[in-house]
Amino acid sequence: MQHIIPVYIARKEVHKYFPGLSSKTLANQNSQGKGPTPMKKGRLVFYCFDELKSLFVVGNRER
């Protein structure tokens, strides 16, 4: 059985794919200009899965 990996993940769903990475951490990093680049659609904030993966595996980086 194959797992489907989404291209974009909503901020509130990040913990399902990256245990230990909370939506609050991403919100705080965004307010400081750090972390992955957010994309907004209405009230929802999304992140590119590949960017989150590289951030989570490699560590924090400046935007």
Q: pLDDT by residue (tens digit) across 6-59?
A: 899 999 999 999 999 999 999 999 999 999 999 999 999 999 999 999 887 765
CA 50 to chain centre: 9
pTM of the predicted model as reported, rounded to 2 decimal places: 0.79
Q: What is the pLDDT of residue 63?
A: 52
**What are the CA-CA distances from residue 6 to residues 34, 48, 49, 63 (Å)?**
23, 9, 7, 22
